[in-house]
């Protein structure tokens, strides 16, 4: 017997067509599912009343899979087959993961795999197990199938990680309405959309990821101005810092199990220190002692400082002074730590918002967004804009990256740019899609390569090839190239086996700031080199085609200039190359003029004058 | 006769109306659709329409339009919990058959 809910006037659902949609916070430490019932967001608990599902999955030899608290309890006894914090491995290659408590395999290409007694598991499969449990929880609670969900991801997730999250949902039988950045979801949960227009900052320190987002609210619309963070920084690192302190005080864990017991005790002590100022710690026989809030603050201050550096960078990126930030929202369990609140408050010079449970706030926002996308919500048509974390572009001649969609562009986004051929009669064009902030392709991350074929024979520079980049609402990229005269077209959807690692994103961002100057110089040089090559190629082709038009001695003069230009091109001085290009241009100018006359004569031969009116 | 609410139903409706911030009361009704013919309507009511019968039960105004009242007369609306799920249940003496899932019924 179905149980009914009250609907808004005129919106009673038809029987058998009720659509249950949900918001899912697929977290590093815990995962949650929330849905909107009678206009109110409810975070759904399991049968024992817990809303947090520990993101822990245990695989056993007989094929049994346990998820959540039961799996967590087996973590110490069966560490290699009990997978925690799998989110850190999503969309990563083996080479991206430095150290891990698990047995990881996987080649240079493709996603990392975790060896368990039940066989090798990809992070996608492990995440799908977590999602399946949440889905079952909702279906049991609401008595109907889950139609679709909004799943949240850290703002820093690249295409590969987003795709991996989507794959996990598909594997769990959940249609993804949209992937939503976690900080954006938190702002929605706080109903900041009803606040005065202005800038809002979301500080999200979870178990394993740190995100900071600067949102601008104008005319009821949220725009993510800038995002930043560190996807390998969170409460887990705080626990590790506490364990490091205990090691300094004599703790000597002798096995991975013992280390895990210490980590668990560290988390417990940290949580208790939210309300107390000193706690007793007893992890017999490995370690026993006391931990004060001062000890904790000293241990985690360097980690908090790293988050504040990211906050300042985001403010700088967006050119927003601290004084203009209307509210700061705290998200993630680790923000319960008093020291975090204190230092974030000091940076932004205001008390951060923290009245919604920081563990639930992302799921709450995701559920509101899901409700909205499913068309269940009422009048408030809130539109969320997310941004691209790193610029997207293609490789052009000379190994340069041409940015087509710049970093922090709101998505969904679509931009096109025209390119042309480099050689006469060039029939195909290789398109290399890259992501990054640097000017040189070698310093950016390669996302995909494809070819556009069937370009009709034309002189260099005559073809018009329109390259279009489209990023959908989930941040997934498709690139198409179209030669406009022939209509030849080719496209690719970027679905890399793994994308940028978070460390890479961080490093690339830092590099781009640090090396903007040397980049500009390198770019100038490469541009002149490409121009030199193009010029030499063109003059040689002309001389080969119209040898008879060369005046006596002209061939030698031009050849000498080509040789000089080639020598300059081999050097490092863009100015010299430019001068030599001008010299070659001068030496071949009269020859070029004769070619043009001859060409005109050929074209006009045998035609009546009227044709040229 | 008319339509009544159980105490738990009234309590839940009061809470929902308070959270919603506005609304005259609750509208109950039936419309044709579904595999066994009819489906219940359970909505907030923002205004009383011409021809509505208005019942007061545990302090909640319950509105039923004329056509629906034929099928709903004597109905008790209950709010119950079944496992993890909770929601409203129509106890309708006119109802002969439900379609198994209880979302539609025939009279």
Average pLDDT over residues A472-493: 80
E strand segments, chain B? 4-5, 25-32, 38-45, 53-57, 60-64, 76-82, 85-91, 97-98, 104-106
Predicted local distance difference test score (pLDDT) of residue A611: 46
Q: Do B33 and A15 touch (CB under 8 A)?
A: yes
Angle in degrees, CA A411, A415, A419, rounded to 5? 155
Q: Domain segments of chain A: what residues?
A: 17-233+302-384, 392-503, 516-604
Checking if the pLDDT of A613 tops 50, the result is no
Render pLDDT for A73-120 as a digit per residue (tens, 0 to 9). 998 889 999 999 899 888 888 877 777 888 888 765 567 889 999 888
Give me the CATH code for the A392-503 domain, please.
Answer: 2.60.34.10
Checking if the pLDDT of A505 tops 70, the result is no
What mean pLDDT, rounded, does chain A reach? 83
Render pLDDT for A247-290 as a digit per residue (tens, 0 to 9). 999 888 888 888 889 999 999 999 999 999 999 999 888 899 99
Checking if the pLDDT of A128 tops 90, the result is yes
CATH T-level assignment (fold) for domain A516-604: Substrate Binding Domain Of Dnak; Chain:A; Domain 2 (1.20.1270)
Checking if the pLDDT of A220 tops 60, the result is no
| Of the listed ranges A232-246, A275-289, B35-49, B57-71, the one predicted with least confidence | B35-49
Which has the closest alpha carbon to A25: A136, A169, A193? A169
Checking if the pLDDT of A507 tops 90, the result is no
Residues of B in contact with A2 (CB under 8 A): 87, 101-103
Question: pLDDT band at residue B107, thresholds of 50, 70 and 90?
Answer: low
A49 touches chain B (CB under 8 A): no
Checking if the pLDDT of A387 tops 60, the result is yes
Render pLDDT for A415-453 as a digit per residue (tens, 0 to 9). 888 888 888 888 888 889 888 877 888 878 778 888 888
Place of tokens 């799908």: A128
Q: Residues with Cβ < 8 Å from A35, sequence gap 6 or more?
A: A20, A21, A22, A23, A41, A42, A44, A138, A142, A367, A370, A371
Average pLDDT over residues A36-47: 87
A137 touches chain B (CB under 8 A): yes
Residues in chain B: 107
Predicted local distance difference test score (pLDDT) of residue A378: 47
Helix ranges, A16-97 (H): 69-73
Predicted local distance difference test score (pLDDT) of residue A514: 55
Query: How many Cβ pairs closer than 8 A exist between chain A and B?
Result: 85
Q: Which residue of B has its CA nearest to A3?
A: B87
Q: Do B84 and A6 touch (CB under 8 A)?
A: no
**Which of the pair, A193 or B79, is modelled with greater confidence?**
B79
Q: Do A9 and B13 touch (CB under 8 A)?
A: no
Q: Do A39 and B104 touch (CB under 8 A)?
A: no
Predicted local distance difference test score (pLDDT) of residue A492: 78
Predicted local distance difference test score (pLDDT) of residue A612: 45
Question: pLDDT band at residue A382, thresholds of 50, 70 and 90?
Answer: very low
Predicted local distance difference test score (pLDDT) of residue A500: 46
Q: Which ipTM was obtained for this model?
A: 0.79
Residues of B in contact with A137 (CB under 8 A): 84
Q: Residues with Cβ < 8 Å from A594, sequence gap 6 or more?
A: A546, A549
| Coil, strand or helix at A544 | helix
CATH T-level assignment (fold) for domain A17-233+302-384: Nucleotidyltransferase; domain 5 (3.30.420)
A316 part of the active site: no
Checking if the pLDDT of A519 tops 80, the result is no
Predicted local distance difference test score (pLDDT) of residue B37: 61
Predicted local distance difference test score (pLDDT) of residue B105: 66
Q: Do A39 and B19 touch (CB under 8 A)?
A: yes
Q: CB–CB of A386/A184 below 8 Å?
A: yes
A87 part of the active site: yes
- Predicted TM-score (pTM) of the model is 0.59
Pairing of strands A221-230, A400-405: unpaired
| Of the listed ranges A97-101, A177-181, A187-191, A430-434, the one predicted with least confidence | A97-101
Q: What are phi and psi of A585, to 5 degrees?
A: -60, -45
A182 part of the active site: yes
């Amino acid at each position: 017997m179905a149980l009914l809910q009250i609907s808004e006037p005129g919106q009673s659902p038809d029987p058998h067509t009720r659509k249950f949609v949900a918001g899912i916070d697929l977290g590093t430490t815990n995962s949650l599912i929330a849905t909107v019932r009678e206009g109110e967001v409810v975070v759904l608990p399991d049968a024992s009343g817990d809303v947090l599902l520990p993101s822990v999955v245990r695989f056993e030899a007989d094929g049994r899979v346990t998820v959540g608290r039961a799996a967590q309890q087996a973590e110490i006894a069966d560490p290699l087959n009990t997978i925690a914090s799998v989110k850190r491995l999503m969309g990563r290659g083996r080479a991206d993961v430095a150290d891990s408590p698990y047995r990881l395999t996987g080649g240079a290409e493709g996603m990392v795999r975790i060896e368990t007694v039940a066989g090798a598991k990809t992070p996608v499969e492990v995440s799908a197990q977590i999602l399946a449990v949440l889905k079952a929880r909702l279906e049991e609670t609401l008595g109907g199938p889950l139609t679709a969900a909004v799943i949240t991801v850290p703002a820093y997730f690249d295409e590969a990680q987003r795709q991996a999250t989507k794959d996990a949902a598909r594997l769990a039988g959940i249609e993804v309405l949209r992937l939503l950045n976690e900080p954006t979801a938190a702002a929605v949960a706080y109903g900041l959309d009803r606040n005065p227009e202005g800038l809002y900052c979301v500080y999200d320190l979870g178990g394993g990821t740190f995100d900071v987002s600067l949102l601008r609210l104008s005319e009821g619309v949220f725009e993510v101005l800038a995002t930043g963070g560190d996807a390998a920084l969170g409460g887990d690192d705080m626990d590790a810092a506490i364990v490091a302190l205990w090691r300094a005080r004599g703790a000597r864990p002798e096995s991975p199990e013992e280390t895990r017991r210490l980590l668990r005790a560290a988390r417990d002590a940290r949580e208790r220190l939210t309300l107390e100022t000193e706690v007793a710690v007893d992890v017999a026989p490995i370690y026993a002692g006391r931990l004060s809030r001062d000890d904790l603050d000293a241990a985690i201050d360097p980690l908090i400082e790293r988050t504040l550096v990211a906050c300042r960078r985001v403010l700088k990126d967006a050119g927003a002074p601290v004084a203009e930030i209307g509210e700061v929202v705290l998200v993630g369990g680790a923000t319960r730590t008093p020291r975090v609140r204190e230092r974030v408050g000091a940076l932004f010079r205001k008390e951060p918002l923290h009245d919604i449970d920081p563990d639930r706030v992302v799921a709450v926002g995701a559920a509101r967004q899901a409700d909205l996308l499913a068309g269940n919500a009422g009048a408030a048509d809130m539109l969320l804009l997310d941004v691209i974390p790193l610029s997207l572009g293609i490789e052009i001649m000379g190994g340069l990256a041409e940015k087509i969609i710049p970093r922090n562009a709101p998505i969904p986004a679509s931009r096109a740019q025209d390119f042309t051929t480099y050689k006469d009669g060039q029939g195909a064009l290789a398109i290399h899609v890259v992501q990054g902030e640097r000017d040189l392709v070698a310093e950016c991350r390669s996302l995909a390569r494809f070819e556009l074929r069937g370009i009709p024979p034309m002189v260099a520079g005559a073809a018009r090839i329109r390259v279009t980049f489209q990023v959908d609402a989930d941040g997934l990229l498709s690139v198409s190239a179209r030669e406009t005269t022939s209509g030849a077209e080719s496209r690719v959807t970027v679905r890399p086996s793994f994308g940028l690692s978070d460390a890479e994103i961080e490093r690339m961002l830092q590099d781009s700031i640090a090396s903007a100057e040397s980049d500009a110089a390198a770019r100038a040089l490469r541009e002149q080199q490409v121009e030199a090559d193009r010029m030499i190629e063109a003059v040689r082709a002309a001389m080969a085609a119209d040898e008879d038009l060369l005046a006596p001695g002209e061939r030698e003069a031009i050849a000498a200039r080509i040789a000089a230009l080639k020598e300059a091109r081999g050097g490092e001085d863009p100015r010299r190359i430019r001068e030599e290009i001008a010299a070659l241009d001068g030496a071949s100018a009269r020859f070029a003029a004769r070619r043009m006359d001859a060409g005109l004569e050929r074209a006009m031969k045998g035609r009546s004058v009227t044709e040229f009116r | 006769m008319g339509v009544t609410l159980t105490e738990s139903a009234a309590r839940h409706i009061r809470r929902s109306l308070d959270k919603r911030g506005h609304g005259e009361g609750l509208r109950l009704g039936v419309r044709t659709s579904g595999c066994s013919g009819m489906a219940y309507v359970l909505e907030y009511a923002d205004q009383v329409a011409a021809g509505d019968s208005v019942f007061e039960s545990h302090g909640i105004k319950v509105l039923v339009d004329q056509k629906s009242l034929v099928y709903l007369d004597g109905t008790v609306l209950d709010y119950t919990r079944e496992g993890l799920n909770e929601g409203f249940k129509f106890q309708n003496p006119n109802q002969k058959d439900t379609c198994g899932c209880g979302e539609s019924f025939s009279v």
